[in-house]
């Protein structure tokens, strides 16, 4: 696995622990064996990437819907 893939996997794991499993930042950081600051950085980057992906998906759907008309 490449370093970029590992980083994305850690971002997904951080978001999953906090958003879906309800862990607070301290608990999630402990589960990942990283500092709270490092966790917050993973969360911020992961959320930015997720927002970008959602926007791209939305734009693709708009293009498809526009083409259908």
Are 28 and 39 in contact, with CB atoms under 8 Å apart? yes
User: Whole-model pTM?
Assistant: 0.79
Which of 13, 14, 5 minimizes the C-alpha distance to 36?
14
| pLDDT of 58 higher than 70 | yes
Site of tokens 């999630």: 28
Range of the domain at 31: 3-68
Which of 54, 23, 25 minimizes the C-alpha distance to 41?
25
Measured at the alpha carbon of residue 53, what is the angle toward residues 48 and 54, in degrees to the nearest 5?
100
Tally of structural domains, the chain: 1
User: pLDDT digit string (tens) for 4-44?
Assistant: 899 999 999 999 999 999 999 999 999 999 999 999 999 99
- CATH number, position 40: 1.10.10
């Amino acid at each position: 696995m490449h370093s970029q893939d590992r980083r994305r996997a850690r971002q997904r794991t951080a978001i999953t622990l906090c958003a879906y499993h309800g862990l607070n930042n301290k608990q999630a950081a402990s589960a990942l064996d990283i500092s709270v600051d490092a966790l917050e950085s993973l969360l911020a980057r992961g959320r930015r990437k997720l927002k970008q992906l959602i926007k791209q998906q939305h734009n693709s759907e708009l293009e498809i819907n526009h083409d259908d008309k």
